[in-house]
Amino acid sequence: MLLEAVYHRPRLNWSYAYDVNTIHLRLRAKKGDLTEVFAWAGDKYAWDTTKELIPMTLFTSDAMFDYWECSSVPMHRRLKYGFLLQKEHERIWMTESDFQTTRPENPNRLFEFPYLNRVDVFTPPAWVKDTVFYQIFPERFANGDPSLSPEGVLPWGGAPQRDNFFGGDLQGVIDHLDYLSELGISGIYFTPVFTATTNHKYDTEDYMKIDPHFGDAATLKRLVDACHERGIRVLLDAVFNHSGRTFAPFVDVLEKGEDSAYKDWFHIRQFPLEVVNGIPTYDTFAFEPLMPKLNTENPEVKEYLLRVAEYWIKEIGIDGWRLDVANEVDHEFWREFRKVVKRANPEAYILGEIWHESAPWLEGDKFDAVMNYPFTDAVTDFFVNASLDAEGFANAIGKQLSRYPLQASEVAFNLLDSHDTPRLLTLAGGDKNKLKLAALFQFTFMGTPCIYYGDEIGMDGEGDPDCRKCMEWDTEKQDRELFSYFRRLIDIRSSHPALRTGSIHFLEAARQGSKLAYERRLGDDVLIILLNNEETAQTFRIDVDERNWENVFTGDTLRAERSKLTVKLPAYGYAVIKAVL
């Protein structure tokens, strides 16, 4: 038993309240080392009458470690606990301070979950688990009101550049809500819609005004109301890390220098404000002079931005915020931001843009979720680049699941591409079979899936600006078969609770292999997903219960023989198989 690999701490993703009654405990061990693990738990004030051994299950693994998990519903909302580790006949007890071969005589040196306070429970909005998002880059989605178009607007469908415009607006989105409803979309994430000078609008000029090229507040209100009538939630982009160069307080600093009343709204290292050897004398997003970084520790800045966050929820009725460059803003600001937003709408979704491991932002006091780019990377590496085999992919997914409390994973924002990345179809060299496999995993995995506009009809594009092409509305140029495939994925996901909130268990993911099989289970709702990421036909033989199974895509009935389900899939083939009661 390699005790050096065993890890637990009473915090974060290791010991947390899943809901107002339930505590989850997790323990890490060397992969394949332990055969059984138990939590030894009870009430610290009534240890002798409440202590019990709770079996832990192997809930996920990565390349190096297994992660064991159990749930406890303590009668008095307190938990004192240790662990019993077993490797065949070897037994080791783990306390907060050491490992020992004999059972501890008393609980004094065990770990502790002091009290399950309701106010401390991290509770993301439940609706997110049932939502399929669609990301819209407003300037490139649809031109619904040409009278709003900027001077020099180009004909729709031209080559995108970093500084050109095609006239997309909010009315264009309203005009195409039937299309989104037909697809099955239940949430829209908009990149910024507030006044700015660029086509992407990440250089905010006025946080309280809709960009006139998009419409006005009344237009946005009509859009939000129309979406809500269709059961579609609306998420706006909050760019609170930095403003634009034309933001009035920054203009004042540019004009008045050290005499400006707004100089402390920004992080200024020296006056005058200028760029020296490519680096501004004030902090910015990256080193972009047009995007000065806001000082969110400044009380006036904080008051202004929190008023913005509250206003658009209360006055327009948006359902949440996506937070740009979220990890560069101080944590205290996000704590206050969460309180303001949740007071305005307790069911609002708070989504942070962070591209890496994000546990410090997912403790229940800041964000509900982050954009799951580690998921994106793993999917791309396996299904497109082939730089991961099936085992490596399962390990990458397992590592990601181990990092966060379950409720955070259940509402993670899972994307295949975005306005900041090349489109997946382009990375796949135009191979729609690879796109289909990646999307199938996305829609049968834990978290909320997001489609980047146009992916569902076969749009391609290299990195910015090519990934920001005009939406293709000519049905003759759309891949309608691919559209139907995405619509079917959404229907399958919405029809099976196990795909949204069930457990996940990999059934086949071999080293140097290209076959992937995994189970999603929630009570009697059991589905097995099979993916052949290979240009050759392959046969799966999966251990299952002796019962009938049905291929969700084809409706064919399958029968397990001798507890084995045998399915042959063509090159880049797939199957979703459900248990028939």
Provide the pairing of β-strand 111-113 with 79-87. Answer: antiparallel
Give the burial string for 351-389 (b: 16+ CB within 10 Å, else e).
bbbbeeebeebbbbebbbbbbbbbbbbbbbbbbbeeebb
- Residue corresponding to tokens 């975005």: 418
Q: Which two tokens stand for residue 124?
A: 């993301």
Q: Which of 145, 324, 368, 460 is flagged as catalytic?
A: 324
Question: Tell me, what amino acid is at 79?
Answer: L
From the list 120, 429, 122, 367, the residue with the least C-alpha distance to 238 is 367
Cα 316 to its chain centre, rounded Å, is 25
Element (H, E) at 486: helix 480-495
Active site residue 48: no
Q: What are phi and psi of 221, to 5 degrees?
A: -65, -40
456 is catalytic: no
Length of the chain: 581
Q: Report long-range pairs for 156-161 (Cβ below 8 Å, ≥24 apart).
A: 156/470, 157/469, 157/470, 157/472, 158/470, 160/465, 160/466, 160/468, 160/469, 160/470, 161/465
Spatial distance between the Cα atoms of 378 and 382, rounded to a whole number of angstroms: 6
Instruction: Please give the full DSSP string across 55-112, using - where no structure is assigned.
Output: EPEEEEE-SSEEEEEEEE--TTS-EEEEEEEEETTEEEEE-SS-EESS--SSGGGSEE
Coil/strand/helix, residue 152: coil
**Cα angle for residues 470, 471, 475 (degrees, 5° grid):** 130
Q: Which residues pair with 349 in a beta bridge?
A: 320
Q: Give the residue from 512, 510, 492 showing the smallest Cα distance to 578.
A: 492
Q: Which of 203, 353, 391, 455 is catalytic?
A: 353
The pairing of strands 133-136 and 194-196 is unpaired
Q: Known catalytic residues?
A: 324, 353
